[in-house]
Homo-oligomer: A and B are copies of this chain.
Amino acid sequence: MLDQLQIDLESPVPVYRQIADAVRRGLEQGELPPGTRLPPTRDLARRLGINRNTVVSAYDALAQEGLVQSHTGRGTFLVSPGSDYETPGNPAPGDGTPWFSGFSRAVERAGVGRLLSMYRVVTSKEGISFAGSYPASDLMPVEPLRKAISGSMKEAGEELLGYGPTAGHEPLRRWIAGSMRKQGSVLDADQVLVTNGAQQALELVFRVMIDTGDPVVIEEPTYTGALSALHSLGARVVGVPVDAEGMRPDLLAVALERHRPRLIYLQPTFQNPTTSVMSEARRREILAVAERHRCVVVEDDWGGELCFDGKPLPPSLHALDGGRRVIYLSTFSKKLLPGLRIGFVVAPPEVMEPLISLKQIRDCGTSPLLQAGLHRFLQSGGLNEHLRHALPVYRERRDATMAAMERYFPPGVRWTRPSGGLFTWVTVPPAINTTDLFESARREGVLFSRGELFHSGGGGSDTLRLTFAGNPTHEIESGIKTLGSLMTAIMGKDERDGEAAARAVPIL
């Protein structure tokens, strides 16, 4: 397993942590059983072409986590990972270990850094970017929003610059509740908690509902931010495969039977990354299965309003369930503007107090000023205006993307044609590893999101996500063309390299 270890020197993840992660993964997945002796640091360093101290740091990190033990003169051995191993005490004075030699499990667990790694690509502003899931910056209603914020400050600046209620600015909570009632949900404003974007909404819900080791069912693949949050909390992530309509209810039933999780996390509309939309029948089936097993459903509806094909969407799970067992969350980042960092959770009344209590501990509430400015903008009809303007552009960009892929991608590549949202999901033939493709494409000035980032435990290297919403059509054309050439080249090269790869020597 370590013989295939790939080190990425340009990755934001430090090399020592890449090594430690690979070993931990091997141990967790049974490829490196407890008792295995790790290669001597000197050998592994030579084989990887890196400094020996880096390997030492990796082994130290593993020791810190209780995953390896060193025996002088014999080497370093993997040990059985306890589900909750003893935290080692502070090192004794003067024992020479570095001062900051390991962090909490919340940040050290495998997969925790994934969201940051994706986000750094997203915000890198290099070349043509299909990475991230950005709304188009050229369509942002900057001026109306500036006026709304400025107006709010003129009207109630002193109040808005003080501490506001933890749960959110009352008028905004009422607006959100009203807008959801129009979509068929039953709720009142007390059930709304305003958060710093959907990411905070998600993380708070997970943190309130689960403890370390608790199983949580997700769609496989799913949103990277949900995965990183779950990994950080030490949840046991149980992936249930999706088909064209989203999560499969038959497999969900099996997973619930076997793992008895408390939570199911779903994106029924424009699922990120597969773009699927659950039919109403499927939604009802999923809810029925969840109900039978007394599971709470977390519905992430980040993109429900980004529907550009005119076909009406099915009701949300929250509306279908009457809001009894569904915790709903959404954001203004995708349908409007990420920079406001405003999202929200809607939860049954029993869940509100713990959610608000945790929000309080986390940051004492979202900026009242931004909330008031957003509310003023919404009240004036700014969101509808923006969508009327933006959605036809998104459709045009989707079409341009479809046309370019048709034209430039080699045979065997498949993709979805989404009826809304911001991106398409692409599957490539096994010959192409999209993590390798990512590196070559980056050198050519084209970015996308690697499919691996959306999978809970390996897999997905034959997939990638292309966000079209943020790029003008000429960039789409040119970026897809570049990707197409790279794919074509790899597919040719692969045939020649098949034999050489088989000769790689295991290091363990």
By a beta-carbon cutoff of 8 Å, the part of chain A in contact with chain B is: 12, 14, 84, 87, 89-93, 98-100, 103-108, 112-113, 115-116, 119-120, 122-123, 132, 134, 137-138, 140, 142-143, 145-146, 149-150, 153-154, 157-166, 195-197, 199-200, 203, 207-214, 225, 228-229, 232, 260-262, 292-296, 324-325, 333, 337-341, 348, 350-351, 353-354, 356-358, 360-370
Contact = CB atoms under 8 A, between A and B. Distances in A.
A157 B163 contact: no
B337 A161 contact: yes
B157 A360 contact: no
A197 B362 CA distance: 9
22 contacts: A90-B261, A90-B293, A91-B294, A99-B324, A104-B207, A116-B356, A119-B364, A123-B165, A134-B163, A137-B161, A140-B157, A140-B162, A142-B158, A149-B153, A160-B339, A161-B338, A161-B340, A163-B339, A164-B339, A212-B212, A232-B358, A340-B369
B360 A340 contact: no
Contacts of A213: 87
| Nearest 8 pairs of A and B residues by beta carbon | A142-B157, A161-B339, A196-B363, A107-B354, A200-B363, A146-B153, A116-B360, A100-B350
Nearest to A103: B354
Given A90-B295, A196-B363, A341-B365, 17 more contacts: A84-B212, A90-B261, A98-B350, A99-B296, A106-B208, A116-B360, A123-B163, A137-B159, A137-B162, A142-B161, A146-B153, A200-B362, A203-B363, A212-B212, A232-B361, A367-B370, A369-B370
Nearest to A156: B142
Nearest to A151: B146
A157 B141 CA distance: 9
Contacts of A361: 112, 115-116, 199, 203, 225, 228-229, 232
Given A104-B210, A106-B207, A338 B162 contact: yes
B341 A363 contact: yes
Contacts of A137: 158-159, 161-162
Given A107-B357, A357-B107, A362 B100 contact: no
Given A134-B163, A338-B161, A90 B260 contact: yes
A123 B339 contact: no
Nearest to A163: B338
A344 to B, nearest CB: 13
Contact of A146 (B84, B154, B200, B232): B154
Contacts of A113: 353, 357
> Which of A93, A161, A366 has the largest count of B CB atoms less than 10 A from its CB?
A161
A106 B214 CA distance: 13
A93 B292 CA distance: 6
A3 B418 CA distance: 64
A361 B203 CA distance: 7
Given A90-B295, A208-B103, A341-B363, A157 B146 contact: yes
A270 to B, nearest CB: 19
Contacts of A296: 99-100
A54 B164 CA distance: 31
A168 to B, nearest CB: 12
A218 to B, nearest CB: 15
